[in-house]
Amino acid sequence: MDYSDLIYGYEKKVPTALGLKRYINFDNAASTPPFKGVMKLLAEEAEWYSSVHRGSGYKSRYSTDQYENARQSIANFIGADLAHEVIIFTKNTTDSINKLSHYLSFLPGETVIYSKIEHHSNELPWKKAKNICINLRNEGIDLGELEQVLKANPGKIKLLAVCGASNVTGYIPPIHTLAEMAHHAGAKILIDGAQLIPHRPVKLYPANDPRHLDFLAFSGHKMYAPFGAGVLVGPRALFTNKFPSQVGGGTVRGMGSSGVLWVDPPEVEEAGSPNVLGSLALAKAAQILEQIGWENLINHETSLLEYSLIKLRQIPNLILYQHCSNPSIGVISFNIQGIEHYQVAKYLAETRGIGVRSGCFCARGYVQSLLKLSPVEIDRIQSTLIENVQAQTPGMVRISFGCYNKFSEVDCLVDALEELSLGIRKRGGSCK
Ligand SMILES: Cc1ncc(COP(=O)(O)O)c(C=O)c1O
């Protein structure tokens, strides 16, 4: 399968030490390039763009309709029922989860569970809310341990906050089983869908189904629509008649001596002028993913992942940090013994024009555990960071696939990594 023709800018060449080379983007877990179909839609819609909701001119009414159609098409994409649920357009997943943390109020002793594999965006908002957060051990989500934690805290667990897929290993937790467990214990579940949404179909299921996902957050820029829009989905009732997370224009229905009367959700959570074109882009990208077809997309990405793992395992000195269980999205983290992660990333960029991510991927808990760093080592690293703003921390190199990546691109990566790895052997452990 070759989906590269769907990608805007796929053929762009970038400077490398060996001259201009076509850019190979293996950093899709961070952000994806736009679909051409998204760019085309933006160019068309921009001609008709005007302020939404409060304008009376033709273009304003047109843009308002398009904006609300985008909301409906996102609802269809994830199987949300707009009578009970709201689709709130946000900036990104981080914004969505921070908004949600504003709405969930906690009684003393009430707790959020989040897992050890979470991105900081699905960890810090819960720490900030000063709840007792329980780390799940083992590298994946240990269902036995989760069961124990739920049983040991009857009526105290308010929320289970987990990612739909890890941005470090690609591991896909069994989200609907987790939902059933959370609901059985009287808790709600939030799925941080930042990584899952571009790679797997996600359905909320109706609210009376134990598999139901209460909250879902995701970002347009990770699903081929990098134009500043994200989504938060949740029950309409939670956002109704509450003090919004941000106040300002567009949130007020009335203002009198008794105070402010807020508009209903979703508008109450979209203070100021919303990102209309970004939201249209996101909805269009969702439509294109469905047009490609999930089965085609999953087959292609899984073959690419398996092919890469076979090749990478043959490279001497390369350490893979894979989660032992399937399924996974196309994310692979590794190190080459004796070479710092950032040197590997730099070499790939400079010699092949390959873009990867290196470091801790905003998931320090998971990365430090995979690197088997002791608490003492972690504290030492922290002290180094305090003393030196330029200091690099231990980390990994991550490659992450989009639907448009090709086997030949993997070959190019493997070639460069072999070169690096053999270089170490030749030079006895150093890499320049
Ligand atoms: C699992 C996960 N959650 C949340 C985020 C944050 O997404 P955003 O930067 O779009 O807010 C990321 C970004 O990499 C992620 O991988």
Cα separation, 239 vs 288, in Å, equals 30
Instruction: Please indicate whether residue 92, judged by its CB atom, sits closer than 6 Å to ligand 1.
Output: yes
CB 354 within 8 A of CB 348: yes
Ligand 1 within 6 A of 219 CB? yes
The answer, yes or no, to whether any atom of ligand 1 lies below 6 A from the CB of 98, is no
CA of 424 from ligand 1 middle (Å) equals: 34
Which pLDDT does position 430 carry in this prediction? 35
Taking the CA atoms of residue 198, residue 282, residue 356 and residue 301 in that order, the dihedral angle to the nearest 10 degrees is: 30
Q: By mean pLDDT, which of 13-27, 60-74, 141-155, 240-254 is the weakest?
A: 141-155
Ligand 1 center from residue 419 Cα (angstroms) = 32
Asked whether the predicted pLDDT for residue 104 surpasses 50, the reply is: yes
Average pLDDT, integer, range 22-49: 98
Find the mean pLDDT for residues 158-167. Answer: 96
CB of 167 closer than 6 angstroms to any ligand 1 atom: yes
Q: In the chain, count H helices and then E strands.
A: 12, 17
Question: Of ligand 1's atoms, which has the minimum distance to the CA of residue 192?
Answer: 3
Mean pLDDT for 192-204 is 98
Nearest residue CA, atom 16 of ligand 1? 167
Ligand 1 nearest atom to the CA of residue 221, by list position: 10
Q: What is the pLDDT of residue 130?
A: 62
Which residue has the CA at smallest separation from atom 7 of ligand 1? 93
Atom of ligand 1 nearest to the CA of 30: 14
Domains along the chain with CATH numbers: 4-30+294-427 (3.90.1150.10), 38-290 (3.40.640.10)
Q: Is the pLDDT of residue 85 over 60?
A: yes
Q: What is the pLDDT of residue 193?
A: 98
3-state secondary structure of 171: strand
CB distance 119 to ligand 1 below 6 Å? yes
In sequence order, which ranges of 8-57 are alpha helices (DSSP H)?
Answer: 36-46
Question: Tell me, what's the pLDDT at 138?
Answer: 61
Binding site membership of 279 for ligand 1 (Cβ less than 6 Å): no
- Torsion sign over Cα 401, 403, 404, 405: positive
pLDDT of residue 267: 96
Residue 196 CA, ligand 1 centroid: distance in Å: 10
pLDDT tens digits for 108-129?
888 899 998 999 999 999 987 6
Mean pLDDT of the chain, nearest integer: 93
pLDDT digits (tens, 9 = 90+) for 344-366: 999 999 999 999 999 999 999 99
pLDDT at 132: 67
Residue 83 has pLDDT above 50, yes or no: yes
> What's the CA-to-centroid distance between 93 and ligand 1, angstroms?
6
pLDDT class of 137 with cuts at 50, 70, 90: low
Per-residue model confidence (pLDDT) at position 127: 85
pLDDT band at 412 (very low <50, low <70, confident <90, very high): very high
Q: Is the pLDDT of residue 425 over 70?
A: no
408 or 143: which leads in pLDDT: 408
C-alpha span between 413 and 26 (Å, rounded): 9
| Any atom of ligand 1 within 6 Å of the Cβ of 200 | no
Indicate if ligand 1 lies below 6 Å from the C-beta of 94.
yes
DSSP string, 295-316: HHHHHHHHHHHHHHHHHHHTST
Average the pLDDT over 311-340 and give the result.
Answer: 92
| Ligand 1 center to 348 CA (angstroms) | 24
In this prediction, residue 55 has a pLDDT band, given cuts at 50, 70 and 90, of: confident
Q: What percent of the chain has pLDDT over 70?
A: 95
> Quick check: CB of 400 below 6 Å from ligand 1?
no
The pLDDT confidence band at residue 431, using thresholds 50, 70 and 90, is very low
Residue in 270, 285, 221, 234 with CA at minimum distance from that of residue 68: 270
